[in-house]
Amino acid sequence: MKVVIQPGAPFYSGQRKKARIIFSFLLLWFIIIFARLIDLQVIEHKKLKAIVQEQSQDLITVLPTRGTIFDRNGRILARSLPAASVFFSPVQGESFEHQVKGIYQLKTILQLSDSELKKIINSVEKRRRFTWIKRKIPLEVAEKVKSLKLPGIYILEENKRFYPQGTLAAHLLGGVSIDDVGLAGVEYYYNTLLRGEEGQQLIMKDARRREFFIETIKETKPGQDLYLTIDSTIQYIAEKELQQAVEKHQANWGTIVILSPRTGEVLAMATYPSYDPNEFPPPGNLMPNRAIQHTYEPGSTVKMVTAAAARELAGLSWNSFFDCSQGYLVFGGTIVRDHVRLGVLSFPEVIIHSSNVGAIKIAEQIGAENVYRMFKLFRFGEKTGIDLPGEESGVLHPLERWRKSSLRVAIGYEISATPLQVLRAMNIFASGGYLVKPRVRLEKPAPLKDVIPASFESLPEGQPILNSQTTAELVSRIFEKVVDLGTGREAGLPGYAIAGKTGTAQKYVPELRSYSSSRHVASFVGFVPADRPLISMIVVIDEPRGTFHYGGQVAAPVFREVARKVLLYLQQPPRKTADALIMARKDTSFQGVSD
């Protein structure tokens, strides 16, 4: 048997074995790589993409430019100006100590307080991707920050709310948060209109998380502009006279509201003490708009409603007389007093000289149901519906809950109202018998001097409440005489017919469960000129201290000075002769009555 041996066979067999091993290794390597690619590209794609984006991108909300607020003449009351905000976003691989060192370099430039620094450092220590350093700084300060070229420190362009008139109309305007969200006043009420729509910006970074470029993802939509009914000049006049009165009488606070009687447009709304909306929010005690957010027992000002009920619902004769000579009246377990003894008074004289005793006797004669019905017609206990936030409704108890003492509603007790509600009531007489809803928004600029003639060519913008004849008679027989002959003489203005009513209400002290003899609310509400009213106005002074505390002494002079300056501003010449006014003032035997 012949055996053939092939040279090199073992060597060839070994080569094939090695090739299989290498091939198997490469195949396994390829399978692992392929599986990993499948894992990265398919299974973990969304997660990994998010991680990459988180490491290289920051998505920031961009606030829109807030709409500008104008007065009725087009003067700017609030606007948004360019500003810059500084924020921190960490750089990859940078130590916490190095990050803090960069932030501390901004302390002096940005005037950061110790508490602000502590808050920022805590945020950085928690590895947060975004931390505000300082919001809404001037552009020149932002340039100083940018020049330092600190890693992780970025500048974002924003807008800052600016009120160029300072404290003017502060309570009406309100204010905004650091994020330009309205928090009070018209800024809050019309926030949706003023704010606009937010945008978004994408900050792209390189591998070391340094700024690369900024891309706008969504454009902002600016807010709409807003025109208000107020006249800046009239607002200024009201605020200055109010401030002087509050300080002169060392009062807690005061408020003035001025309306255009036939349209309900608010020409001025002032509260003092005030604040600067550029430094919003103010201290808590300065925040409330007292004209609509404070209720009080209005006292004798609402005797106008009692008088309307007497004529319109009960048909009380002008020649009805009431004995007020005793100076006080006991009824329903309470005592009602007059400020001075007044003798026997006719129905008009009861209101002219503000006799509490006489007003209660009138209310008893016409009946509680008629008194209540008229106060409901005048919408006491209901909000006026003004386009401002936080309005109080006041209190008018249902008739079924009235006691005999509840007839004191006729003299302004056991009822509460806001100053605006009392002015709305007097405005019914100024508008010829119409209940006009007050408002602060205009659709377009409308200077008051241009719309005055037109205001008398159409019916008032409201609901008829009183008969026009009844209204005219009450104005001429009572409310004008209040100023010419009665408690409101200090509101008189030579050359002009003024109609109005004084009020002096004792304040109830819950701790003592009684009314204070030393704490009062002094007020005057009226309109001018009496025959063709251009403005209606209320002045309320809380707790005047010193020699005077009656509405006729404290609030009526403020009404006079505001009215005088407003009429001068509106170029309205006097139409009532000074001699006639002097003679009318001499025709009175009740000098010194000041309720």
Positions marked active-site: 300
Residue 119 to residue 131: CA distance in whole angstroms: 10
Cβ-Cβ contacts under 8 Å for 539 (sequence gap 6 or more): 242, 245, 254, 255, 256, 523, 524, 525, 555, 556, 558, 559, 562
**Residue 178 contacts residue 24 (beta carbons within 8 Å):** no
Supply the DSSP string of 165-203, one letter for each residue.
Answer: TTTTTHHHH-EE-TTS-EEEHHHHHTHHHHH-B-EEEEE
CA pair distance 557, 555, nearest whole angstrom: 6
Nearest to 165 by CA among 268, 264, 283: 268
Alpha carbons 590 and 478: distance in angstroms, whole number: 15
Compute the Cα dihedral for 41, 47, 51, 52 and give only its sign.
positive
Of 83, 256, 109, nearest in space to 176 by CA: 83
* Residue recorded with tokens 């009920």: 309
Instruction: Kindly list the strands in the beta sheet with 499-509, ordered across the sheet, starting from the edge strand earlier in the chain.
Output: 266-272, 253-259, 535-542, 514-528, 499-509
CB-based burial label for 62 (10 Å; 0-12, 13-18, 19+): middle
CA distances from 573 to 261, 493, 500, 529, 568 (A): 19, 12, 20, 11, 8
Identify the CA nearest to 159 among candidates 59, 218, 78, 74: 78
592: which DSSP letter?
Answer: T
SS (H, E, C) 121-155: HHHHHCCCCCEEEEEEECHHHHHHHHHHCCCCEEE
Number of H helices, E strands in the chain: 22, 22
Token couple for 250? 């060392």
- State the distance between the two ends of the chain, measured CA to CA, in whole angstroms: 151
Give the CB-side neighbour count of residue 122, counting CA atoms within 13 A. Answer: 6
Residue showing tokens 């994020």: 179
